[in-house]
Amino acid sequence: MIPSALCSQLERGLADFLRMSFWSPTPGMEGVIDRLLDTPGAVFKGPYVSAKLPFQQGGADEFFPQVPLGFPAHRHQEQAFERLTGTNPRSTLVATGTGSGKTECFLWPILEYCRSRVGTPGIKAIIVYPMNALATDQAGRIAKAVHTNSALRGGVRAGLYIGESPGQKHSSHKTMGPDHLITDRGTMRLNPPDILLTNYKMLDYLLIRSGDQDLWQHNHGDPLRYLVVDELHTFDGAQGTDLACLIRRLKTRLKVEPGKLCCVGTSATLGGGDSTDTLRSYAEDIFGVTFDKGAVITETRQSPTEFFGGTLIEFAGSVAEDVRDRLDPSRHPTPQEYVAAQQQLWFDEALETTPGSDLWRVELGEQLLRHSTLRNLVTLLAQAPVPLDELVANISRTSRTLREDPKFAKRTLVSFLSLVSEARSWLPERAEAKARREAAGTPRPTRPFLDVRIQIWQRELRRMVADVAPKPTL
């Protein structure tokens, strides 16, 4: 998906839909929808563009030798590992963005703890999700992590215990597999898993239903070490109060000794200022434990100096005005052909590798590093998302042609952003992970070159009125 190109197409499609759906034959009301759509900010806000630099890498050593990640952890992941491992793990809040590896922050310490206590009965970690869909998705990731590690496979067990939607039936698994956890409830009652994935409503049932009491038969005092609430910020208002009461009942029911339970919450990124203290206070109300001043883990990204790494500028300027038609995404049969065409426009010659392949995308990223426009983009987007029109105006300052033709300037910027979105970088991997990958014949993993996001907001069209005028407006 190419967000910069898709965004403009989406806005045009929505505008066309509104024109066709709400046209009016009433005299005097002709063109009222067109006038509404032509008013800046009346229907659409944005697009807003952000392009974040990669996360800072952690140390070179494997944090969990017996349960290796396979790739160098991010710095914020290592900070979480340091707090969540050892004989006395400390309650922690992970407040990082989408795609930052929040799950790994708490999952790997849990897996290491369970590995070190294979054969010890009882549920050792409970992970609470706000939605069944999220729990099911994470269950697949955990199953894969356990299955691909010989130190975990066959020893560490995890189960998914959630409700089912009306008319929906899930396969019942009595054992773990490469893509699923234990889901058979009878099996989990007879032999409770080490890790239990559930939602807060189901956890409430598990504490009070007589038929589920065998789940807790081995949990008295010490076995339960971790309690994780994913997407903690979604539990607000009455739902947050319910969750807080549930956690206190859980600790009482299992006779958890004070200071023995490590509580973990994941949250969206923070806005800065007093947000850290507010989140800590909120989490203390929910979990009923103390979160120290260092409990909130936030993301750390590379600086522009680290990202460019001394790379010199070899390409500058914009595309030629006489090829403006090739900037239009609708003139290309496929997104891949569009991106390949934009690469030739910006760098004159096509890359020798196959367009769309991982190697082509990595080579594209290496080209972009040497282009002056990328330096300008990183500078302009360093702090916060920027409206696309404002970004176009700033980029246009580098070229007289762009300043004189805003429409051409916008298409030029969309073209360059499409290249940045398509580009990739090789994911760093450790020697042992590389050896396993090559033995299995799997391709080398990649990661996004930059974290490009484009947001567009549409106003809800309800309770609208028109003024009384010769040409009414909404």
Tens digits of residue pLDDT in 349-392: 889 999 999 999 999 999 999 999 999 999 999 888 999 999 99
The stretch 18-31 carries a mean pLDDT of 77
Which pTM value belongs to this model? 0.86
Confidence of residue 221 (pLDDT cuts 50, 70, 90): low
Element (H, E) at 10: helix 3-21
Mean pLDDT of 158-173: 74
Cα distances (angstroms) measured from residue 211 to each of 158, 186, 207, 256, 321: 20, 10, 10, 22, 73
pLDDT at 60: 66
Q: Which of 125, 104, 111 is nearest to 66 (CA)?
A: 111
Q: How far apart are CA 410 and CA 388, in angstroms?
A: 8
Strand order in the sheet with 44-52: 386-387, 44-52, 451-458
Contact 55, 299 (CB under 8 A): yes
Which residue in this structure is represented by tokens 């004989």? 87
Q: Is 430 exposed, middle or buried (0-12, 13-18, 19+ CB in 10 A)?
A: middle
Provide φ and ψ at 179, rounded to 5°. -130, 10
For residues 412 and 342, give the distance between their C-alpha atoms in angstroms, rounded to a whole number: 9
Per-residue pLDDT tens digits for 306-317: 999 989 999 998
Quote the CA–CA distance of 245 and 256 in Å, as a whole number: 15
Query: What is the model's pLDDT at position 37?
Result: 86
Q: Identify which has the larger pLDDT, 325 or 432.
A: 325
Let me know how long the chain is: 474
* CA pair distance 35, 474, nearest whole angstrom: 8
More confident residue, 280 or 60: 280
Note the pLDDT tens digit of each residue in 251-299: 999 999 888 999 999 987 766 556 888 999 999 999 999 999 999 999 9
Helices 102-116, 132-147: crossing angle, 10 deg rounding: 50
Average pLDDT for the chain: 90
Give the Cα separation of 161 and 209 in Å (integer).
14
- Greater confidence (33 vs 242) lies with 242
H/E segment holding residue 296 = strand 296-298
Tokens 């050892």, residue located: 86
The rounded distance, in Å, linking the Cα atoms of 33 and 18 is 7
Pairing of strands 195-199, 226-229: unpaired
Predicted local distance difference test score (pLDDT) of residue 416:
96
Predicted confidence band at 166 (pLDDT cuts at 50, 70, 90)? very low
- 180 CB contacts (<8 Å, ≥6 apart)? 139, 140, 143, 171, 173
Burial class, 368, CB count within 10 angstroms (exposed 0-12 / middle 13-18 / buried 19+): buried
Gap between the Cα atoms of 315 and 372, Å rounded: 6
Q: Residue 432 above 60 pLDDT? A: yes
Q: Using 50, 70 and 90 to split pLDDT, how confident is the model at 1?
A: low
Higher pLDDT, 171 or 422: 422
For residues 297-323, one letter each, b for 16 or more C-beta atoms within 10 angstroms of the residue's C-beta and e for the rest, the string is bbbbbbeeeebbeeeeeeeeebbeeee
Tokens representing 455 are 């947001």
Query: Could you tell me the two tokens for 243?
Result: 């969750």
- The residue ranking higher by pLDDT, 226 or 21, is 226
Q: Kindly state the average pLDDT of the residues 392-396.
A: 92
Q: Which of 17-31, 104-118, 389-403 has the highest mean pLDDT?
A: 104-118
> Can you tell me the distance from the alpha carbon of 54 to that of 307, in angstroms, rounded to the nearest whole number?
8
Give just the sign of the alpha carbon dihedral 218, 220, 225, 227. positive
Domains (ranges, CATH) in the chain? Answer: 3-54+307-458 (no CATH), 75-298 (3.40.50.300)
> Is the pLDDT reported for residue 165 higher than 60?
no
d(CA 9, CA 472): 28
pLDDT in the model for residue 344:
94
